[in-house]
Amino acid sequence: MDRFKTIDSFIRVAGAGSFSAAAKQLGMSRALVSLHVTDLEKRLGVRLLNRTTRSLTLTEAGANYLEFCRRMLAEIAEQESSIARLQQEPRGSLKVAAPKSFGTLHLSDAVVSFSARYSDIQLSLILEDYSFRAYDFVDQGLDVAVRLGDLPDSSLVARKIAALQWVVCAAPKYLARRGEPKSPADLGKHDCLAHVNLDPNDHAWRLHNSDHVISVKIAGAFSSNSALVLRKAALAGLGIGYLPRYCIDEDLKSGALRQLLPRYSPPERPLYVVYPPASRIPERVRTFVDFLAEWFGNSSAQTHPRRRSVTAGHVSAA
């Protein structure tokens, strides 16, 4: 017999003082309620109620067990309520993964602002370049990931919140030594700084103008998987960089780096927030994603927001 049903019947009988009143509350027959209590007493090996034709009283064991049952059910109700609130209110633990360079330079401000607004969310920002093979970041115990660039089709949910500009650039000292490329084809004759692991073909740079897209194979003695490191290499005059504007905007303004081939621009790279699908997305995740969409939608840090698309099974732009 179901243990919780027998406990519920016992609590109702003890509270009502009779089997008939308890049966009416439960919408059961008096015989079934009596059977529940008898089954509970057999399982415990102790009498819980003293029954006479005129009265019904708790034994000492029954009184102790009644107190325990009420406390247990109250704790269960509180825990269920707490779980429900986690779905309805932005609270609880939230672990976010983001690329190192972007997370350090740009996302960190948004995350700090989010934490200041939602103090009931315990947020951890993990700066790591995850491969995004299937559930790579999920397997690491993370809830949400920020991703630059397109994702392979998967069952992950991805929301595009912005598009980031990239720039071909070099330091004046490099240009004084090697000259300035006049066309995309000239890049093949220069020392270029490859951003490895950013793109499946990271030694080919794509540029486009109003007419067509050009793919140029590049080579050089220096490469890195960090935009911050490549920025330093470009500033040092090691070669021509293909870098995100959020990383070098101040350098371009100061003249420490110069934009090259202004008639040709690298394609924008989408900025996604990615998380596992669920029948009901936790409110802390939904709140964080909405916050980032608003943050980057209002940002002037070289992003072009394209809002708001949530898709499962594949990635799409809004």
Residues facing residue 96 across a β-bridge: 125, 144
Q: What pLDDT is stored for residue 226 in this prediction?
A: 87
How many residues are recorded in the chain? 318
Q: What pLDDT score was predicted for residue 190?
A: 96
For residue range 195-224, what is the model confidence (pLDDT) as tens digits? 887 666 678 999 988 778 899 999 999 999
User: Which of residues 310 and 228 earns the better pLDDT score?
Assistant: 228
The label of the residue with tokens 């920002």 reads 125
Is residue 150 situated within a structural domain? yes
Neighbours of 203 (CB within 10 A): 15
Q: Are 65 and 145 found together in one domain?
A: no
For residues 57 and 206, state if they share a domain. no
Check whether 172 has a pLDDT greater than 60: yes
Q: How many domains does the chain have?
A: 3
| Alpha-carbon gap, residue 150 to 2, rounded angstroms | 52
| Domain identity same for 244 and 170 | yes
As a whole number, mean pLDDT of residues 65-75 equals 87
Q: What is the CATH number of the domain that holds 109?
A: 3.40.190.10
Q: Does residue 85 surpass a pLDDT of 60?
A: no
In a domain, 243, yes or no: yes
pLDDT higher than 60, residue 130 = no
Residues 203 and 149 in one domain: no
Task: Name the pTM for this structure.
Answer: 0.61
Residue with tokens 């909405």: 290
Q: Both 66 and 11 in a single domain?
A: yes
Q: Is residue 318 part of a domain?
A: no
Three-class secondary structure assignment of 243-292: EEHHHHHHHHHHCCCEECCCCCECCCEEEEEEECCCCCCCHHHHHHHHHH
Q: Which band of pLDDT confidence, cut at 50, 70 and 90, is reported for residue 140?
A: confident
110 and 160 both lie in a single domain: yes
Task: Answer yes or no: is 170 within a domain.
Answer: yes
pLDDT of residue 203: 86
Give the domain-ending residue among 32, 65, 88: 88
Quote the CA–CA distance of 243 and 259 in Å, as a whole number: 10
Q: Which two structure tokens, joined as six digits, stand for 114?
A: 């989010």
The span from the CA of 243 to the CA of 164, in Å, is 10
- Examine the domain organization and report whether 111 and 135 are in the same domain: yes
- In this structure, is residue 281 part of a structural domain? yes
Reported confidence tier of residue 259, pLDDT bands at 50, 70, 90 = very high
Contact 26, 12 (CB under 8 A): yes
Residues 196 and 65 in one domain: no
Fill in the amino acid letter for 184.
P
What is the sign, positive or negative, of the torsion defined by CA atoms of 277, 282, 287, 288? negative
Cα distance between residue 121 and residue 284, in whole Å: 7
pLDDT at 316: 31
Which of 88, 109, 140 finishes a domain? 88
pLDDT > 70: percent of the chain = 84
CA distances from 251 to 91, 172, 235, 256 (A): 40, 11, 9, 5
Two tokens, residue 294: 């608003």
Q: Is residue 61 located within the same domain as residue 97?
A: no
Domain ranges, residue 35? 3-88
Residue 317 placed within a domain? no
Indicate if 157 and 138 belong to the same structural domain.
yes
Pair 205, 140 in one domain: no
Average pLDDT estimate for 123-151: 75
Same-domain pairing of 201 and 283: no
